[in-house]
Structure 1
Amino acid sequence: MNGEAQESNPLSPAIMTFQEPKGRRIDPSAFRRSTILVAEGDRGLRRTLRDVLLGMGFPSIVLASNSAETMRQIVEQRPSVVLLDHKLPGSGAAGGDGLTLTRRLRRENDPLPIILMATAPDAALVAAARDAGVNEIVRKPLSMESLVLRLMHVLQVPRKFIRSPGFLGPDRRRLVDRRRTERRTETPLPAEQERRQKPSRRSGDERRKPPKSA
């Protein structure tokens, strides 16, 4: 034992097996020239992500455990992408969660790509993340496919950065459209799964006993 506190690791085993997403080509050179900042409050997940990203070919992984440290690393390291914990602990003047930090960066006119990591992101969170200026959202527990897809999108197919009086951030339309498409193949959220399992009016009628014959 090294004396460190044991922390949970919500990564699924699938993240340890690298597979190219179906129908998509991965450009390894985009990975090799990129620096990734992992801003995650859970130490176990933070270190696991570092090891996985290094194994994927990223040469430089920077770690941060709270908002203040994240801002410092952004200024000093100028990463290519930030993997940002939705529940990232706040600290000092940079206090707040992942969305608060995103809003601050966008107010400073910083186009740095941000991938928000969140547990069971529902429609309300997706909308809030979109309006805050998040580029992509990835669901926890993480899978290799979802992580690679988000990194591919921000590194190889970046969205246009919009600067307008009412909004600073990546084009919001693509995030919403793609989330709708992905939701057809992803495991439903608990509330959605429960809704789908409820019998329809028709199925209830079909279970009724037929009327007795005269």
Structure 2
Amino acid sequence: MSLPFSKTERVNLSTAEVLLACGDPEGLNIMGEMFAGFGVHTPRRCLTMADAQTSVQERILNLMVVDSALADGEGYDFISWLRRSEITPNCYAPVILITGHTRPSQIFRGRDAGASFVVRKPVAPLIMMQRIIWLLNDQRKFVTSPGYCGPDRRVKALGPPVGSKGRRHDDLSAQVGAASTPNLEQDEIDALFKPRAVI
């Protein structure tokens, strides 16, 4: 499921179908104002898990932003339900989970529920837009197994999305520089693959 703009264009969310779910009316209004600033005209606002489930069944969504606390349940449970619902294409849509609990166990719980991203509250608009752009460039495969359903959790192994600068000091650059040492000769390469007896 892709967002309705390409990575070469200026980000325009005016045509995106966005679901915002939060159990706190004031928190939901803050999220709504943030996305109005991004150009989203009429996001689906849901206070409860039941409302969010209904919205998923009624319209095709490009992005979902779900708080961990809904009025009648937890955002984690909604995301797990969504990923296994088989309501295509919505079950594959990007989901950003917002949580005030940033203990590793809670972050892992969001990831294991199938969230595309877990973001800590309070969320600054710049951080939210950065996550949306990251998801636009996200090339992870969707995984369905008995124990997990959602985007591939192995972000570290894949490095940052193409065209993005990595956060970690050991992320490799996509640009290949000039050789710093001479190339190996063929017999040196062959010797690397020949087993040798250890003395």
TM-score, structure 2 normalization: 0.67
| Residue in structure 1 matching 2:140, options 151, 154, 159 | 159
Q: 1:132 aligns with which of 98, 106, 113?
A: 113
Preserved CA contact (<8 Å) 2:12 2:39: no
Alignment of 1:101-180 (within 5 A): 101-109=78-86, 110-174=91-155
Alpha-carbon distance, 1:99 to partner: 0.6
Q: 1 or 2 for the larger relative contact order (CA 8 Å, sep ≥6)? A: 1
Do residues 40 (structure 1) and 17 (structure 2) align? Answer: no
Q: Name the residue aligned to 1:99.
A: 76
| Cα separation, partners in 2 of 1:138 and 1:29, compared to 1, 3 Å | same
Which structure has more helix as a fraction of its residues? 1
Partners of 2:27 and 2:52 in 1: how far apart? 16
Task: Provide the aligned C-alpha RMSD in A.
Answer: 2.7
**Residue correspondences, number:** 154
**Partners of 1:43 and 1:183 in 2: how far apart?**
36
1:57 pairs with one of 25, 39, 48: 39
Cα distance per residue 1:84-117 (max 9 Å; x no partner): 0101122xxxxx3011111111122321211100
Q: Deviations over 1:41-95 (max 9, x none)?
A: 11122122212212212233110001001111111132211110101122xxxxx
Distance 1:39 1:175, change over 3 A: farther
CA distance, structure 2, for counterparts of residue 123 and residue 65 of structure 1: 26
How high is the sequence identity, in percent, across the aligned residues?
26
Q: What TM-score results when the alignment is normalised by the length of structure 1?
A: 0.63
Give the whole-Å Cα distance in 2 for the aligned partners of 1:136 and 1:177: 15
Distance 1:176 1:104, change over 3 A: farther
Q: Relative to 1, partners in 2 of residues 1:26 and 1:128: Cα closer, same or farther, differing over 3 Å?
A: farther
Contact 1:40 1:84 in 2 (8 A): yes
Q: Residue 63 of structure 2: which of 70, 81, 91 is its match?
A: 81
CA contact (8 A) 1:84 1:115 kept: yes
Structure 2 residue runs of 5 or longer lacking an equivalent are: 1-6, 160-165, 170-199
Q: Secondary structure at the match of 2:45?
A: strand
Three-state SS of the structure 1 residue aligned to 2:70 is: coil
